[in-house]
Amino acid sequence: MKAVSGKRLCRLLETRGWELKRINGSHHIYVKKGITIRISVPVHGNKPLKIGLLKYLMKIAEIDETEL
């Protein structure tokens, strides 16, 4: 799997209809109408997200690996 930073994932979420609700420290909280689960993306500059967290967030947001 390709390494993806928190910034890159945030941009991808916004193109898929997710809305930035708030920023709490370095965590960006995203919501989407019709979905009760919120997504919290840690943004630490261009540091890549850990693979387990990335896969979990992709599953919630219904993002395919080819879209990265």
Residue 60 has what pLDDT? 95
Q: Is 6-63 CATH 3.40.190.10? A: no
The predicted model gives 54-58 an average pLDDT of: 96
Residue 22 has what pLDDT? 98
Residue 1 has what pLDDT? 82
Residue pLDDT, tens place only, 2-49: 899 999 999 999 999 999 999 999 999 999 999 999 999 999 999 999
Give the start-to-end residue ranges of the domains of the chain: 6-63
Structure letter (DSSP) for residue 5: B
Question: Which pLDDT band holds residue 68 (cuts at 50, 70, 90)?
Answer: confident
Report the interhelical angle of 6-15 vs 51-61 (nearest 10°): 10
Place of tokens 């080819």: 66
Rounded Cα gap, residues 42 and 31, in angstroms = 15
Q: In the beta sheet, which residues pair with residue 27?
A: 24, 42
